[in-house]
Amino acid sequence: MSSAPADGAAATQPATSGARKVYVKSYGCQMNVYDSHRMADTLASSGYTETSSPEGADLVILNTCHIRERAAEKVYSELGRLREMKDSAALEGRQVRIAVAGCVAQAEGKEIIRREKTVDLVVGSQNYHRLPELLARAHNGPVVDTEFPVEDKFEHLGKPSASKIRTRGISAFLTIQEGCDKFCTFCVVPYTRGVEVSRPAASIIAEAERLADAGVREITLIGQNVNAYHGQGPDGRTWTLGKLLERIAGIRGIVRLRYSTSHPRDMDDSLYAAHRDIPAVMPQLHLPVQSGSDRILAAMNRGHTRAEFMHVVERLRAIRPDMAFTSDIIVGFPGETDEDFEDTMRLVRDVPFTSGYAFNYSTRPGTPAAEREDQIPENVKTARLHRLQALLEQQRHSFNMRSMGACVPVLFDKAGRLPGQMVGRSMFLQPVHVMADAAIISTVADVEINEINSNGLFGTLVHAPRAHEAAAMELQKA
């Protein structure tokens, strides 16, 4: 599958006096966004500084996604553009190196170098801590490393400096779990990310504390199946996600907590309790359902029925009546009839969602559903997709309209486009704009909403930061 590093002790490239620049482009999910940051942090110790565009970069890393055919193909068109950039830099005597990381790297390995000779390095999702060493080896010709190593990559990845954390904003992702053992019949993730592994709680807590100390106010715990989390706790017991949320909510400065992506099968009592008892846990959940038809859910190997999904929604709403649900839905899975699709539309109406992502089923090589002969024609998929997207859009709009005239708590994170305008997020991640002093950034304040358009919610500040957020403000000033 790959060539392993010949020598684990191979030298990290020494930092050169003229700082080299690395540009990392992320595709796909939040896990890749997190990994891209950690790759940049790891390369910082080899003298690389992060830059926000490929022009002028000495190293370009594409952190890729393999989930749907179009996502994977994007990588090759981007590589074509980068080849031209690399060739013209070479004419000026400047060497640019190109690396492909992420799920396409993991799935296609050396096939990438065969298809696109401009690539110097292919690095799978579990090997980012080896980047400095792999780049050193790539001086002698293309290198491929897509092994699943035994060591814990998280412990070996570079850590961001406090100033780096601040430039990334007051909301941060923190990976707590990786991989998936569920093998839904349409999905590549179990093959590209490997088996489900939970990080030990102590290392997650230390990372959350570092983020909070540097000014982060909102953390989203992420994983391919984040609520399957079962890491070792500092007390030697296995911790659930609910327990971890409770611990992280106690960290000074953290005012909001989220987690994503959850699987309906992995909701447990500790998580329901977290939504009931921890004010920092936001009343919002991304809970992919994929289909509303029991027949299709079974063929997808989702391991739950439509009724079981509805039970999760109802149980959470009983605890938190303001709970908002978003979802992922696939249309045109092999064998999906008009009736199955109508079941999906009915489920979406029954929940209803506050927004959602709908996808045409995409055939992924190596997955069981790709072998089926009853594939659905593209025009049928697309017609269904448009109907579903229209319904989800309607639901998003009516959810937004419910905020009209309401007073909503907003965590402010940056200046807006207009002079004097500040922007933050509601509990449900809607962007909210007000005219306010910049000192409001990184605090939670109440806003009365008086306008809603396609850019989000607009309103006036009605409340200074509330008492329980004052501590966070003090920390920020310190």
Helix (H) or strand (E) holding 323: none
Residue 240 has, within 13 A of its CA and on its CB side, a CA count of: 12
End-to-end Cα, the chain, rounded Å: 51
Residue of 34, 154, 309, 361 that binds ligand SAH (CB under 6 A) = 361
Residue 21 makes contact with ligand SF4 by CB under 6 A: no
* List of long-range contacts for 346-353, beta carbons under 8 Å, 24+ apart: 346/292, 347/289, 347/292, 347/306, 347/309, 347/310, 348/292, 348/388, 348/391, 348/392, 348/395, 349/391, 350/310, 351/310, 351/313, 351/325, 351/327, 352/395, 353/325, 353/326, 353/327, 353/392, 353/395, 353/396
Which tokens belong to 223?
């994983």
Q: Provide the mask over 170-189, with x wherever binding to ligand SAH is found by CB under 6 A and - wherever it is not.
A: ----------------xx-x
183 binds, among ligand SAH, ligand F3S, ligand SF4, none (CB under 5 to 8 A by kind): ligand SF4
Residue 263 makes contact with ligand SAH by CB under 6 A: yes
User: In three state form, how does the secondary structure of 418-435 look?
Assistant: CCCEEEEECCCCCEEEEE
Query: Least distance from C-beta 317 to ligand SAH, angstroms?
Result: 20
The residue (of 68 and 256) whose beta carbon lies closer to ligand SAH is 68
Spatial distance between the Cα atoms of 256 and 246, rounded to a whole number of angstroms: 12
Using CB atoms within 10 Å of the CB of residue 152, give its burial: 0 to 12 exposed, 13 to 18 middle, 19+ buried. Answer: middle
Selected range binding ligand SF4 among 180-188, 229-237, 291-299, 397-405, rule: CB under 6 A = 180-188
Residue 182 makes contact with ligand SF4 by CB under 6 A: yes
Q: Provide the mask over 4-43, with x wherever binding to ligand F3S is found by CB under 6 A and - wherever it is not.
A: ------------------------xx-xx-----------
Residue of 189, 208, 281, 285 that binds ligand F3S (CB under 6 A) = 189
Spatial distance between the Cα atoms of 127 and 99, rounded to a whole number of angstroms: 13
Binding residue count for ligand F3S, defined by CB under 6 A: 14
Helix (H) or strand (E) holding 103: helix 102-108
Residue 331 makes contact with ligand SF4 by CB under 6 A: no
User: In three state form, how does the secondary structure of 83-100 look?
Assistant: HHHHHHHHHCCCCCEEEE
Query: Least distance from C-beta 236 to ligand F3S, angstroms?
Result: 31
Residue 258 makes contact with ligand SAH by CB under 6 A: no
Binding residue count for ligand SAH, defined by CB under 6 A: 17
Residue 225 makes contact with ligand SF4 by CB under 6 A: yes
Residue of 121, 184, 214, 254 that binds ligand SF4 (CB under 6 A) = 184
330 binds, among ligand F3S, ligand SF4, ligand SAH, none (CB under 5 to 8 A by kind): ligand SAH
168 binds, among ligand F3S, ligand SAH, ligand SF4, none (CB under 5 to 8 A by kind): none
Residue of 21, 37, 68, 193 that binds ligand SAH (CB under 6 A) = 68
Which one-letter DSSP state was computed for residue 281? Answer: B
Bridge partners (DSSP) listed for residue 25? 62
Per CB under 6 A, residues contacting ligand SAH are 67-68, 186-187, 189, 224-225, 261, 263, 288, 290, 328, 330, 359, 361-362, 364
